Amino acid sequence: MRFSVWHIRLASGWPYVAVLCADDAKKLGLHPFDRIKIKYKTKIYNAILDVSDTQFPVRDGEIGMFDELYKTIGNVEGGHVSVMPSKKPESINFIKKKMDGFSLNKKEILEIVKDITNRKISNIETTYFVSASYINGLTWNETVWLTEAMIETGRRLKFTKKTVVDKHCIGGVPGNRTTMLIVPIIASCGLLIPKTSSRSITSPAGTADTMEVLADVNLGYERMKDITNEVGGCIAWGGEVDLAPADDQIIKIEHPLSIDAEGQLLASVIAKKASVTAKHLLIDIPYGPYSKCKTHNSGKKMGEKFLKLGNHFGMDTHITITDGSEPIGNGIGPALEAIDVMKVLECTEDAPYDLMAKAVYLAGKMLEMAGRGGFKEAKDTIISGRALAKMNEIIDAQGRKVAHYSHIKLGKHIHHVIAKKKGAVRTINNHAIAEIAKAAGAPLDHGAGIYLVKHVGDKVIKHETLMTIYAENSMKLKHAVEYLRNFKAFDY
């Protein structure tokens, strides 16, 4: 059947989508989410069909095309195309197979990941895959093949002249911004560290959010490669680099239910590291009541899987299980965390010692793995100012935003949380700290967050400040202060 093209002024944000009215779809024997072939002149395009509701019809004889499809065909509004039913991709059968409790083979997993990456399958179909992988779990082989498929369907950043080392942290600890110290330490030692990081999804700051206070992080593939070759390292937002891009689609699908399928987490981390041709890889697994891993033992279990998978892909992989029971550093929130990082590099008197110690510990381990000087070499880069100089090179290369950390603006609306009695801090509740900082506006309001004056073990005198909340507007500050009632941040 032939149809006249109508441009839907909207991106579907997903596969190629075309819309027919219910009558025309019926004539073609088509249902929503069926596949069609669209022929324009001599070329054929594959798309997924949507069927418009009777209450707001795409007109008879008309085909609505979302922006991606419309532009690919070549902006032919009013032009004529013919439409034929087409078969579903074979990957749909493999997804069904996984739902029915069977394991998939290498070829089947590659097909699914290819079709997710090339946006040949719809949200609904991808959701079935994510859901089946979550509920039925992935076998070891499936995890390996998923990793392989993610690598294969993305771009690779190849560095051949110098050794690439990389790290990953599974997250869950507020303020834990070690990456921003490890990258300049490692790069100043002559190794390469092309680090991609994520933005916060549920926390008060991701590494990409924090680095963004100091420099541009939307680097993309080419700039990331150039900067790494030029200065030895970078801290880029992973979303624009096209390393293992299937992962981004899967995370989008996981978000509505906040699920985190272990096999997919393992595959996506290892695939991204293999995609930057890392030779040595350190995985930091903080454990604690508010981390993904509650106990040392569960952290170790997850670590062993990372270890096995990383080594399988030829990376010298090590894990470190760290204490995630309290926040690390003083600042929580992008600006406050960026200041902490720069203070450590500048060795100021008020630099958070715990953040420095953890960063040096991790960087030292990574240097050791690469046959270098270990903790001592790591510490030297900080004391000597070489790490600071390297960080400034990286910031300049990525695009500097502030001349010096002292120019970073914090929220002007401030609330001091005061001790009501004397004592000693027994615990600080990571979850409460994160929720209060978010209520204050972090991570989107860069200047919002928390400055921790007291840490676990510190003595507290009545009326002393425990922490200070910063917000960019008074409403949000009020909101954050209200949270104090629901959450007990300090136990002392």
218-254 burial code (b ≥16 CB/10 A, e <16): ebebebbbebbeebbbbbbbbbbbbbbbbbbbbbebb
Q: What is d(CA 432, CA 412) in angstroms, rounded to the nearest whole number?
A: 22
| Helix ranges restricted to H, 137-232 | 140-152, 179-188, 207-214, 220-231
55 binding its own copies? (CB under 8 A): yes
Closest to its own copies by CB, 68 or 148: 68
Closest to its own copies by CB, 336 or 439: 439
Closest to its own copies by CB, 257 or 414: 257
- Integer-rounded Cα radius of gyration of the chain: 25
37 binding its own copies? (CB under 8 A): no
CA–chain centroid gap for 331, Å, is: 21
Q: What is the three-class DSSP state of 460? A: strand
Residue from 1, 2, 11, 139 binding its own copies (CB under 8 A) = 11
94 binding its own copies? (CB under 8 A): no
Q: How far is the CB of 8 from its own copies (least distance, A)?
A: 6
68 binding its own copies? (CB under 8 A): yes
Question: For residues 12-31, which are near its own copies according to CB under 8 A?
Answer: 13, 19, 26-29, 31
Query: Among this protein's residues, is 340 annotated catalytic?
Result: no
Closest to its own copies by CB, 340 or 445: 445
Closest to its own copies by CB, 92 or 150: 92
Phi, psi of 124 (to 5 degrees): -60, -45
Residue from 51, 73, 321, 395 binding its own copies (CB under 8 A) = 51
The residue to which tokens 């004529």 are assigned: 80
228 binding its own copies? (CB under 8 A): no
Q: What is d(CA 240, CA 135) in angstroms, rounded to the nearest whole number?
A: 30
Contacts of 28 (CB under 8 A, 6+ apart): 1, 20, 36, 83, 84, 85
252 binding its own copies? (CB under 8 A): yes
Question: For residues 376-405, which are near its own copies according to CB under 8 A?
Answer: none
Residues in touch with its own copies (CB under 8 A):
8-11, 13, 19, 26-29, 31-33, 50-53, 55-56, 58, 64, 67-68, 88, 92, 95-96, 99, 101, 122-125, 127-128, 131-132, 134-136, 201, 252-253, 255-259, 438, 444
Q: What residues act catalytically?
A: 260
